[in-house]
Amino acid sequence: MAGATMGTTWSLKVSLPDGAPSAWVGAIGDTVQSRLDRIEGLMSTWDSASELSRFNATADTSYFPLSPETVAVLEIALEVGAASGGALDVTVGPLVGAWGFGPGGRPDRAPTAAALDSFRPVLGLDRIRLDARGGAVMKTHPGVTLDLSAIAKGYALDLAAEGVRRMGGSEFALEVGGEVRAHGVRPDGTPWRVAIEAPTPESRTIFRVLELRDQAVATSGDYRNFVEVDGTRFSHLLDPRSGSPIPWRGFSVSVVHPQAAQADAWSTALSVLGPDEGLALAERLELAVVFVVPSKDGRFELRYTGDVGRQLQL
């Protein structure tokens, strides 16, 4: 089964439960699509009618009511943002637009220092107040906007995977835009297998294979999505602390976690921190992380935490 969502695609491989009717497969596909579409409808910054776009458009600084799903994503954003020292910051919307990674398209040149400084009053996790129990959020400045793209896809994957499980699917692998959540085993009894690519912009080459069971994996990096402004290559990953994209280094980081939303958020935060600082933080927090980084001989090498290396295959 497969479909389209969030400007990308999804696919599902699932073992048919014993006694399941033939219509079960179609119903599963409908469940996945509807749950993915719901999150896109709530959190898209490209859809002016989405809940998130409506919050971004208002200058009202009183509490804005939110769906439970958006509240859950914001809770993860604040948690990971604090734990990463601000490497993940969902108020970076103005920077996303200024550097040409948002709906407005790409500029001819990099934003000036003065332009970046002008955004400071609306940047930072302290610019929002989340009332999780009340289901609402407020901005402390009329110009504050949110961009949840670092977490929304992973959260949507979790929501869709839980839908499959509620309908009786116990052995499946669901992929949304390259992120995967897997449960049980494949029909032959072996773990689900997910490719980790070599971080090269020119081609797609499998570097290692990661075995998954009852886990999710999200991969981020600076190697494929980038923009060239004034002849300089910038990663699409913005460092909220500096206001600029991270230097292009050609690496990737994959985070393995029971929840795809957490894996998604942490893969972005650790990419911003980079292989050295990011790996050190992952070790302190006992996150399962795999970095693929350029080696001195022009190839690539692995850096990973804990026991996740046992899940890696050539």
d(C-alpha 196, C-alpha 252), whole Å: 9
pTM of the model: 0.93
Instruction: For residue 275, give both structure tokens.
Output: 């292989």
Residues near 241 by beta carbon (within 8 Å), at least 6 away in sequence: 85, 86, 87
Query: Where do runs of H (alpha helix) occur along the chain?
Result: 23-43, 51-57, 68-83, 93-98, 113-118, 149-166, 260-285
Residues near 88 by beta carbon (within 8 Å), at least 6 away in sequence: 77, 80, 81, 150, 240, 265, 268, 269, 272
The neighbouring-strand residues paired with 300 are 294
Residue 27 has, within 13 A of its CA and on its CB side, a CA count of 13
Q: pLDDT per position in the chain (314 positions), as tens?
A: 999 999 999 999 999 887 788 788 899 999 999 999 999 999 999 999 999 999 999 999 999 999 999 999 999 999 999 999 999 999 998 888 888 776 666 666 778 889 888 999 999 999 999 999 999 999 999 999 999 999 999 999 999 999 999 999 999 999 999 999 999 999 999 999 999 999 887 778 999 999 999 999 999 987 666 666 666 666 778 899 888 888 777 899 999 999 999 999 999 999 999 999 999 999 999 999 999 999 988 889 999 999 999 999 97
Tell me, what's the pLDDT at 145? 94
Cβ-contact 94, 243 below 8 angstroms: no
Residue 56, Cβ density class (10 Å: 0-12 exposed, 13-18 middle, ≥19 buried): middle
Residue 169 has, within 13 A of its CA and on its CB side, a CA count of 28
Q: Look at the chain and count its residues.
A: 314
Cβ-contact 128, 68 below 8 angstroms: no
Domains and CATH numbers, the chain: 56-149 (1.10.3980.10)
Element (H, E) at 217: strand 215-221
Cβ-contact 127, 91 below 8 angstroms: yes
Tokens 């350029």 belong to 294
Cβ-contact 229, 112 below 8 angstroms: no
Tell me, what's the pLDDT at 298? 82
CA angle (51 as vertex; 47, 54 as ends), nearest 5: 75
Element (H, E) at 32: helix 23-43
Tell me, what's the pLDDT at 104? 65
